[in-house]
Structure 1
Amino acid sequence: MPEPSLKQKAAKGIFWGGFSSGLQQLLSALFGIVIARLLDNTDYGMYGVLAIFIAIASTLQDSGFVTALVNKRNVTQEDYNAVFWCSLSIGTSIYIIFFFCAPFIADFFKAPELIWLSRYVFLGFLMSSTSVVHNAYFLRNLMIKQRAMAQLPALIISGTIGIIMAYNGMSYWGIATQNLAYIAVINLWYWYFSPWRPTFHIDFRPLKDIFGFSSKILITSIFQQINNNLVSTILGAFYTKAEVGNYTQSSKWNYMGYNAIEGMISSVAQPVLREVADDPGRQQNVFRKMLRFTSFLSFPAMFGLALIAKEFIIITITDKWLSCVPILQILCVWGAFMPVISLYSRLILSNGKPNIFMWNSILLCVLQLIIMLLAYPYGIHVMLILFVVLNIIWLGVWQYFIWQEIRLSLWNALKDTVPFAGIAATTMIATYYITIEINNIYLMLITKIGLAVAIYSLIMWFSKVTIFKESIKYLSGRSKK
């Protein structure tokens, strides 16, 4: 059997990445709906204030090794083995440090309950440190199907545990246990599907070749995690736990929305772009096609989520969460651009330029911190709007470096993104005014979704958009097979 072409491997990876991400977000939504009906915003707030510590610790544990292994031209057993034992050592050390720091965390947020809750939640650092290499192995070898087969049962089992505990009145302990169960199950499946196994010949010398790249990814990832969790931390310091809970709930739905698209693209973007890194012309063509595909999906999906936010929140998790609606709508605008930003950063990394990735992310994080500290007295909505505007403007900085790497002009980048954003926005505005007189909330939700999909698809069809027709053709081909 002939070796599949890069295009075939990329298409297969995107298909399985999309199938996995879509199904995961659907299951996460179903479990999230049930749990949100059982808990309140204070419960989510208790877990939400720990998000930044979880994110930073997870990043330290990864240490940029996954990205470095995916990007390395030739990877040996010694490389994998050194990363495994290093990750395990870091995970163990982080847990010990955070265990003794728990009282200080509780004092900062003025919540004594956080002492044992944080110590319990942080067990995830130990558990997930054992699967860093397996995750890198799957991504490097485009084993997207195997990753999906590991992630889905983990989601089902952990979601079921979370619901049972929430139903029995265990509040935020149920959310924490759900997260730990997910890590435990996915680790077991990663080990089952991956052919790689560690040895007890511990030698850290191969890390010298990896650390130059991975250290910059580590620093960048820490700042990105601070950036992504900055809002919940500032809210936890200056606002009530209920307000933190409202933001956490809104952020969760926004994340599930854009992560379904980002997960589909990011699972193949870096390894595929790395394959063509020696040919800038070909790399530009591959990147532009990915950019059009990302824009084609991301803008209608996230603008659509903003359109139906009110009906969705009331129907699924009841009107006790109604205050989440404006927050979710603001975040959805940011979420529409997130897969595009992620794709830009993947190209920078695939070309072996972690310095650009690092300093770009650090500067953005610092600017966001300044803006949010200045804006928080004016309320969460103003703070979030400024947060979103800055992130969208910063896409221009990414564009400058993309132009340096592959000579993709701003005009061509705009041609690949703006039409999809404009059509998606026009579709949602038209749908809003067409359905504005509908009084039944269920009919409103169904009509909005159906009408928006129909209008967007018809515009794509009559405009003869190539990426739309190629997607239909590919899916039709798979269904015939």
Structure 2
Amino acid sequence: MSKNKDRDSFFSGFFWKFNEQITAQLVSFIVSIVLARILSPSDYGIVSLVNVFIILANVFVTSGFGTALIQKKDATELDFSTIFYCSFVFSLFLYVVLFICAPYIGDFYHNDKVVSVVRAYGLALPIAAFNSIQQAYIARKIAFRKIFISTSAASILSGVIGIICAFLGFGVWALVIQSLSNSIISTIVLFIQIPWRPKLLFSFKEAKILLDYGWKVLAADFIGTFFGQLRNLVIGRYYSTASLAYYNRGDQFPNLISTNVDSSISTVLFPVMSKHGDDLVRLKAMVRRSLRTSTYLIMPLMFGLAAVAKPLIQLLLTDKWLPAVPFMQILCVSNAFATVTNTNLQVLKASGRSDVLLKLELVKKPVYLVLLIIGIKYGVMMVAVTMLIYSVYAAIVNMSPNKKVINYGIKEQLSDIVPSLLLSILMFIAVKSLEYLNISSVLTLLVQIIVGILIYILGSVIFRMESFAYLSGYLRGMLKKGE
């Protein structure tokens, strides 16, 4: 009965989280296509340069604080208010630092436009501090429907605002205004929906307990985010803003899918797993199911997207963005392995092993740095290739600790992953070969999508894929309930 309740909670949460992500990303995707046709690659490049610093600062504001609240089984109003004040005060401090450092960031990139953009973009930090506690409250309640409503409203309204600004000739500021308005609207809508409000409560004792767990998660996330953004920083520093725009545009498409599916699973899985952090047998069963399901869904989507990259970009973004195609193909394969990393990291968070989480980052990042240095030497394309190599390496490293934590080691995980990987590669080869048909981009894309879906479904039936049987069985059960 408890297992069914966990399963239903997970799928209910996943349904709303996935719908939130897909709606937000779809709206964002449509808006970005419109903006990409109006704005220049250099405009996107400037925002990408600034994003490096904003994303890093945002980790300090949102990462460890909210995670600690979700992981603690008996979090109270005192805990929520305490963490809110810690997060909010720290966000103000970080904004002041960014404001002061803005001219130096501009000098680093040899671009004066960066200074004012940094100072404006940084205003998102205090908003993110408040929003992260709202998100933690919702995650504990597994009430992701509320996030769906707030994110959808914010994405649509901010998208309209951004497009209007672009048509009015705001240039790079259209992107800044769109991003800030998205954060503000989302926070306001959640404020209306949920009952939580910060109270005049604070405990240094509770802050110490929560931060003792949270700082390790924060440190691990910061290291991971810093090195992830280091590629953008290096490309922006040593190559043109247009090159950075092509790299990021190539990464946008796989991220669209990865965020929608993988992030949805991870976000919902963490609070559900946290309830059973002491029951290692139950935890392993949940993780194994999650890994099988996520790889079964993510692998074909990533390899399929890589196969249709050229006609897709030609159709949606026009030929001026064709240099983004090879980046997109490489980063699609890289993102295919990210789901393995994310699932394994959720286990460590849920079981309270934030110390192992931090140690893993310290083990992985020297390799990342070496690969990045090699990539810089041989050009932007090699930077993308080294990202793929690192993603495979990181997935293997992140598998290893869970042999001790939940008795789910590398060998057993590979046995769950490889079937979906091999079938996805087979599908990729078949779909990619259709690119050479002498037909229009629209027709090529349509044929590729249909063939790809048919191959994967038929392959799942022929090879008796366990995840296909599980998902189809669950869907049939849901349909019967609805009758």
Normalising TM by the smaller chain, what interval?
over 0.9
Displacement of 1:282: 2.0
Displacement of 1:329: 0.7
Which residue of structure 1 lines up, in the alignment, with residue 106 of structure 2? 106
- 1: CA distance between counterparts of 2:244 and 2:466? 43
- 1: CA distance between counterparts of 2:83 and 2:219? 17
Which residue of structure 2 lines up, in the alignment, with residue 441 of structure 1? 441
CA contact (8 A) 2:42 2:242 kept: yes
Displacement of 1:477: 4.5
- 1: CA distance between counterparts of 2:443 and 2:454? 16
Displacement of 1:70: 0.8
Displacement of 1:90: 0.8
CA contact (8 A) 2:364 2:397 kept: no
- Per-residue CA deviation, residues 371-402 of structure 1 (Å, 9 max, x unaligned), is 21233121111122122112212222112101
CA contact (8 A) 2:302 2:336 kept: yes
Tell whether 2:41 aligns with 1:38: no
Tell whether 2:340 aligns with 1:340: yes
Displacement of 1:185: 0.6
Displacement of 1:346: 0.3
Q: Which shows bigger deviation, 461-470 or 4-13?
A: 461-470
Q: What does residue range 83-162 of structure 1 map to in structure 2 within 5 Å? A: 83-162=83-162
SS of the residue aligned with 1:278?
A: coil
Displacement of 1:417: 0.6
Q: What does residue range 342-361 of structure 1 map to in structure 2 within 5 Å? A: 342-361=342-361
Quick one: which amino acid aligns to residue 294 of structure 2? T
Quick one: which amino acid aligns to residue 35 of structure 2? I
Structure 1 residues 5, 63: closer, same or farther in 2, change over 3 A? closer
- 2: CA distance between counterparts of 1:137 and 1:131? 10
Q: What does residue range 286-435 of structure 1 map to in structure 2 within 5 Å? A: 286-434=286-434
Displacement of 1:299: 0.4
Structure 2 gaps of 5+ residues are: none
- 2: CA distance between counterparts of 1:369 and 1:298? 27
Quick one: which amino acid aligns to residue 136 of structure 1? A
Which residue of structure 2 lines up, in the alignment, with residue 472 of structure 1? 472
- 1: CA distance between counterparts of 2:365 and 2:39? 32
Which residue of structure 1 lines up, in the alignment, with residue 210 of structure 2? 210
Tell whether 2:107 aligns with 1:80: no
Q: Which shows bigger deviation, 172-181 or 465-474?
A: 465-474
- 2: CA distance between counterparts of 1:280 and 1:63? 25
- 1: CA distance between counterparts of 2:115 and 2:435? 49
- 1: CA distance between counterparts of 2:209 and 2:203? 13
- 1: CA distance between counterparts of 2:455 and 2:4? 36
Structure 1 residues 423, 3: closer, same or farther in 2, change over 3 A? closer
- Per-residue CA deviation, residues 48-73 of structure 1 (Å, 9 max, x unaligned), is 01122111111111250111111112
Quick one: which amino acid aligns to residue 176 of structure 2? A
CA contact (8 A) 1:144 1:267 kept: no
- Per-residue CA deviation, residues 265-319 of structure 1 (Å, 9 max, x unaligned), is 0122112222222222222111111110001111001111111111111110111
Quick one: which amino acid aligns to residue 373 of structure 1? I
- 2: CA distance between counterparts of 1:63 and 1:453? 37
- 2: CA distance between counterparts of 1:364 and 1:118? 30
Structure 1 gaps of 5+ residues are: none
Following superposition, which runs of at least 4 residues in structure 1 exceed 4 angstroms of deviation? 476-480
Structure 1 residues 242, 403: closer, same or farther in 2, change over 3 A? same
Alpha-carbon RMSD: 1.7
- 2: CA distance between counterparts of 1:475 and 1:171? 46
Quick one: which amino acid aligns to residue 340 of structure 2? V
Structure 1 residues 248, 435: closer, same or farther in 2, change over 3 A? closer
Which residue of structure 2 lines up, in the alignment, with residue 462 of structure 1? 462
SS of the residue aligned with 2:337?
A: helix
Displacement of 1:476: 4.4
Quick one: which amino acid aligns to residue 423 of structure 2? I
Q: Which shows bigger deviation, 266-275 or 137-146?
A: 266-275
- 1: CA distance between counterparts of 2:474 and 2:4? 16
- 1: CA distance between counterparts of 2:411 and 2:188? 47
Displacement of 1:47: 0.5
CA contact (8 A) 1:435 1:447 kept: no
Tell whether 2:225 aligns with 1:225: yes
Quick one: which amino acid aligns to residue 439 of structure 2? N
Displacement of 1:19: 2.1
- 2: CA distance between counterparts of 1:206 and 1:282? 29
Alignment TM-score, normalising by the size of structure 1: 0.96
SS of the residue aligned with 1:237?
A: helix
- 2: CA distance between counterparts of 1:299 and 1:223? 26
- 1: CA distance between counterparts of 2:135 and 2:73? 17
SS of the residue aligned with 2:436?
A: coil
Which residue of structure 2 lines up, in the alignment, with residue 243 of structure 1? 243
- 1: CA distance between counterparts of 2:400 and 2:409? 9
Tell whether 2:268 aligns with 1:256: no
CA contact (8 A) 2:98 2:119 kept: yes
- 2: CA distance between counterparts of 1:410 and 1:111? 46
- 2: CA distance between counterparts of 1:367 and 1:400? 17
SS of the residue aligned with 1:277?
A: coil
- 2: CA distance between counterparts of 1:48 and 1:154? 21
CA contact (8 A) 1:230 1:369 kept: no
